[in-house]
Structure 1
Amino acid sequence: MDVRLREWREDDAPVVLRAFQAPDLRTQAPFPVVTLKDAMGWIAGWSGVGHAFAVTVEGRVVGNVAVSRVDDHDNGWVSYWVVPEARGRGVAVAATEELARWAFGERGLYRLELGHRTNNPASCRVATKAGFRPEGIERGKLSYEGIRYDVERHARLATDPPAAITQS
């Protein structure tokens, strides 16, 4: 499988719109993405706040990986999503590994962090397989529709051995 990262383009807006219609992705955008204009705004919204990449498989956009909240200590926050029809094939793991290589190599970051709800084992598998080690539980961190969720935090350092990438 040929997983690649590339810059988002305005003409990718239909993919973004379709992706954010999936029930588990609706709350992952900072605002509701319900029109093509919203989807173009989501793409444009990355300018100046982080760096997001369209994830492609055989040239077709199937997801997003991003690093944001870069701070003065060379830390960044990683996020990822894959459209439902491309899940379960290792796309998110490959894309997150590639994002980490880019963030450490090109961007010069030292630490990458991410978090997932503890009731999302698929996201946990992505994080772990991409070399992000669990660091603990943040109790009641997120709230969606009045329900509080615990979040497991993971991190990967630029100095982590390459073998950490393939550990499950």
Structure 2
Amino acid sequence: MTTLMRAWTADDAPALVDAVTATPDLVTQLPVDRLGSPAAAGAFIAESLGSDATTRNWVIVAAGLPVGNVALTHIDARHNTAWVSYWLASGFRGRGLAVRAVVAAAEWAFTDGALFRLELGHRVNNPASCAVATRAGFIAEGIERAKLRYGDDRFDVELHARLATDPAPAVEPLPRE
């Protein structure tokens, strides 16, 4: 079974629909209401999951299926920084895929991307995301109070960062295609 990261394609649209349908908590990361059909998901892939000078997205593929995303966004060439985000469909969580994908994205960022500092944040009520960040070598730097709002609820966010000079974690990165 192939496990890797690669660029998103239009052919991944049905799998994206399946992922958001099977994973209700993705509503905090994706415009789930706009991803109800393969055509809509294809349009979202084309407009939001590509790569350019300020953004790099990779689809996480497991067992031959697109099951998640890892991204570097807000890439700032002047300061050599970027923001890391990731998500997985619920049926593929708990297998280390997100950790391996984040490690692979960081590896790309520090080599091919010539970046120095990567940041990510997670809601403090999301210990699984904290575990991904920590296992991928990101060090907690502090709490941003009431940073995110979903509906009427506000959430504190724990900020993590990894520098190019930090030791790499003992995690095998996902291969990048």
Task: Normalising by structure 1, report the TM-score.
Answer: 0.90
2:75 corresponds to 1:70: yes
Q: Whole-Å Cα distance in 1 between the matches of residues 115 and 81 of structure 2?
A: 6
The one-letter code of the counterpart of 1:75 is T
Residue 127 of structure 1 aligns with which residue?
Answer: 133
Higher normalized contact order (CA 8 Å, seq sep 6+, divided by chain length): 2
Match of 2:156 in 1: 150
**Distance of 2:55 and 2:164 partners within structure 1:** 18
- Letter aligned with residue 160 of structure 1: D
Amino acid at match of 1:39: A
- Which residue of structure 2 aligns with residue 86 of structure 1? 92
Q: Percent identity?
A: 49
TM-score (norm 2): 0.86
1:55 aligns with 2:60: yes
Q: What residue is the counterpart of 2:175 in the other structure?
A: none
Alpha-carbon shift at residue 157 of structure 1 (Å): 0.6
**1:2–1:35 distance in 2 versus 1, CA, 3 Å:** closer
Q: What does 1:92-111 align with in structure 2 at a 5 Å threshold?
A: 92-111=98-117
Distance 1:100 1:3 in 2: 18
Instruction: Number of aligned residue pairs: give it.
Output: 165
1:166 to partner: Cα distance? 3.8
- The runs of 5 or more residues in structure 1 that have no matched partner are none
Measure the CA separation in 2 of the matches of 1:62 and 1:31. Answer: 15
Question: For residues 53 and 126 of structure 1, do their structure 2 counterparts lie closer, same or farther at Cα, with a shift above 3 Å needed?
Answer: same
Give the distance between the partners of 1:160 and 1:68, measured in 2 at CA: 20
Q: RMSD across aligned C-alpha pairs, in angstroms?
A: 1.8
In the alignment, the residues of structure 1 paired with residue 40 and residue 118 of structure 2 have an alpha-carbon distance, to the nearest angstrom, of 28
Query: How far did 1:34 drift?
Result: 2.3
1:2-21, aligned counterparts within 5 Å? 3-21=3-21
Report if aligned partners of 1:3, 1:95 keep a CA contact under 8 Å in 2. no
Letter paired with 1:94: R
Q: Please give the secondary structure, in 2, of the residue aligned with 1:98.
A: helix
CA contact (8 A) 2:84 2:118 kept: yes
SS of 1:24's equivalent? helix
Contact kept, 8 Å, 2:118 with 2:161, in 1: the verdict is yes
